[in-house]
Amino acid sequence: MKVDDITLMAYVDGELDIEERREIERELDDSPELAERIELFRASSLPYHEAFAQQKLPPVPESLTRKIAELSRTHASATSPVPPGPAADPAANDAIAPPAAGLPPSAPVRSLMRFSAPWLAAAFAAGVFSCVVGLRLLPGLTGVSGGAATVASAQGASPWVMAAAGYQALYSRDTVAVATDTAVSAKTVADIHQIDGLPVRVPDLSAQGLEFKRIQRLRFHDKPLVQIVYLPKTGGPVALCVVKDAKPDQSIAQQKIDDMDVVTWRQSELSYALIGTAGQVDLDKLGKLIAKRDVDAMFSQAPVSARPVES
């Protein structure tokens, strides 16, 4: 079985049959590189449909409508004789292609294709317009013109960080307008410590102008992922995300994933990602305060102490 990117995407989307899935999983046992590619595809599987559904798209520009109409008239008025051959046999193509309006049922396929060309072009043009508008409006994907640079800046990011950044990009101030009840948040923190086994400390960032809004227990590849969300006085929400990561400590590093600034570090077998809309909050400074524990903790203290990370 040829395992290319299309096959891997079908595997991630659950579109392969049982035998094909088993073949992929056998390959996964022997190929760490294949497993990493699948993680990347899973990280890119985000609820874009729901995000687009919430957007109010502007009407198609009148200039585009006129251009499509002009293109259709030009092709409709063009006459191009069909060379004789097997395709000219009456009704030869009826079972393959349905007759188009204005053409006899026995019109050759090439005639039908020529007749359809303007509508294919019109559909393409309208599709391009809708896609561009949608990408401009979708949170986290506004930098369409700088797409190549954005993708390059995301290279090297962990799959879980990319997934968390994509999720955070869908947030607006309205998303976290109402803070979670304090008792509920305290219970969530206790569950994170006792059930998930993550000694997460919830930083109090009120002195830095960020109001605590919620803490959530999420999952990435069936592993616990903690998301702590804050709201600055202006701009979009900021999230501190934490996962278990039994690797050596790592100093603070800055990344950019689409329209999100990201600051990451690893400390006492926990990986951290501080995520916010680009240019709104000094995440590097904020990350150093959190990593060095220069801010107070909210709710109960984490059950296991952590070493301050080197900046």
| Domain extent listing, the chain | 62-137, 157-298
Say yes or no to pLDDT of 293 above 80. Answer: yes
Q: What is the mean pLDDT of residues 84-95?
A: 46
Point out which residues pair with 277 in neighbouring strands: 260
User: pLDDT tens digit string along 151-161?
Assistant: 334 557 889 99
Specify the amino acid at residue 81. P
User: pLDDT tens digit string along 168-191?
Assistant: 999 999 988 888 888 899 999 999
Q: From residue 306, how far is each of 266, 270, 291, 303 by CA, in Å?
A: 11, 9, 9, 10
- Of the candidate CATH numbers 3.20.20.120, 3.30.200.100, 3.40.50.300, 3.90.110.10, the domain formed by 157-298 belongs to 3.30.200.100
User: pLDDT tens digit string along 266-292?
Assistant: 999 999 999 999 989 999 999 999 999
User: pLDDT tens digit string along 32-86?
Assistant: 888 888 888 777 666 666 666 655 666 777 777 887 887 877 777 665 555 555 4
User: pLDDT tens digit string along 204-236?
Assistant: 999 999 999 999 999 998 899 999 999 999 999
pLDDT tier at 294, thresholds 50, 70, 90: very high
